[in-house]
Amino acid sequence: MQHLQLPMTFIGGHEGAGIVDAIGPGVTGLEIGDHVACSWIPSCGTCRFCVRGQGNLCDLGINMMSGELANGGFRFHRDGHDIGAIAATGTFSQFAVLDQRSTVKVDKDIPWEWISLVTCGVATGWGAVLNAGKVVAGDSVAIYGCGGIGANAVSAAVQANADIVAVIDPVESKREFAQKLGADAVFADAGEAHADIWERTHGVGVDVAVVTAGVVTSDIIRSAFDLTRKGGTIVLVGVADDATEETLQLSSSMLTLYGKKVVGTLYGDCNPRVDVPQLLRMAKHGKLDLDSLVTRRYSLDQINDGFRDMLSGANIRGLIVHD
């Protein structure tokens, strides 16, 4: 995104997993050798939002773009200068120092790839459907975008026994993957989707539209709004390419008279300390397929290949595997 205020130079990577190699003073609940998920959403458990069950909005997230740790200061340095780590994690680095409130202890028999996947893309997609969208059995759901987050939104809607799960994505391979996940209908563009889904729902519209596109535009939001029934919900997960762009350009009259709801969600309204272990348990018990999400694995020196594949739409998920 063009206008996020990131420090330069900074360490990228906000999803990851690792082993505790050392512990600083004041750390409790963790031991050397523990396996942890690196949580880009910190969770203090004591701020107003955490105690209200909104851990995804924890006050410690204020440092997300500066890279400063929750307990203050920076832990990456170069040539005498501090270097920030995205979301105070910096998982593109083979070694990192994290505040313990940015970690979630997990079982040692969980595959590293599973842990990394659930720390953002999986949790966000699932939560967008089940927490923010409140999808229940029999609902009709339209999902705009079937990438790393959208694919998990599709899985969540299918497992929730939604009556219709429709996916709109311009990339053919992603539409094919959506069908493998159980989507009932896939479309290359919003206009085609609107006509077909309107007919499928007998002119009612979908109960929930989830916008997980990589770059959200006013046209995508308007399409989701128009396709959603009276009293339905539009869940916004993705963001605009320019964070200052005003992409919500909707009829306030239609919003009021039709009782529609537009809901923004960060991290799918999930709580990392609750939902990361829960999703991993589901995977262990065969209730959640994480392996199929991985399109390609990269070494750290292939990271630019990973970015190119991501931008071209070639991957559902790419993983960096540290030696």
The CATH number of the domain holding residue 301 is 3.90.180.10
Claim to verify: residue 251 and residue 134 sit in the same structural domain? yes
Q: What is the pLDDT of residue 292?
A: 94
In the predicted structure, residue 65 carries a pLDDT above the cut 90: no
Find the mean pLDDT for residues 158-173: 96
Considering the domain architecture, whether residues 76 and 24 belong to the same structural domain is answered as yes
User: Tokens in use for 44?
Assistant: 């203090």
User: Can you count the helices (H) and strands (E) in the chain?
Assistant: 10, 14
With 80 as the cut, is the pLDDT of residue 9 above it?
A: no
What pLDDT is recorded for position 1? 40
Which are the contacts of 52, defined by CB distance < 8 A and separation ≥ 6? none
Predicted confidence (pLDDT) at residue 23 exceeds the cutoff of 80: yes
Last residue of a domain, one of 234, 252, 267: 267
Query: Are residues 127 and 261 located together in one domain of the fold?
Result: yes
Which of 69-73, 93-97, 161-165, 240-244: highest mean pLDDT?
A: 161-165
Give, rounded to a whole angstrom, the gap between the first and last alpha carbons of the chain.
Answer: 30
Query: Are 141 and 260 within one domain?
Result: yes
Does pLDDT of 245 surpass 80?
Answer: no
Residue 3 domain flag: no
Residue 29, in any domain of the structure? yes
- For the chain, how many structural domains are there in total? 2
Least confident of 60-64, 110-114, 180-184, 195-199: 60-64
In a domain, 306, yes or no: yes
48: left (phi over 0), alpha (psi -120 to 50) or beta: alpha
Position 5 confidence tier, pLDDT thresholds 50, 70, 90:
low
Closest CA to 279 of 101, 74, 47, 120: 120
Of 251, 267, 283, the residue at which a domain comes to its end is 267
94 within a domain of the structure (yes/no): yes
Are residue 73 and residue 113 in the same domain, yes or no?
yes
185: containing domain: 122-267
**Statement to judge: residues 259 and 128 lie in one domain:** yes
Is the confidence at residue 166, as pLDDT, over 50?
Answer: yes
Judge if 171 and 105 occupy the same domain. no
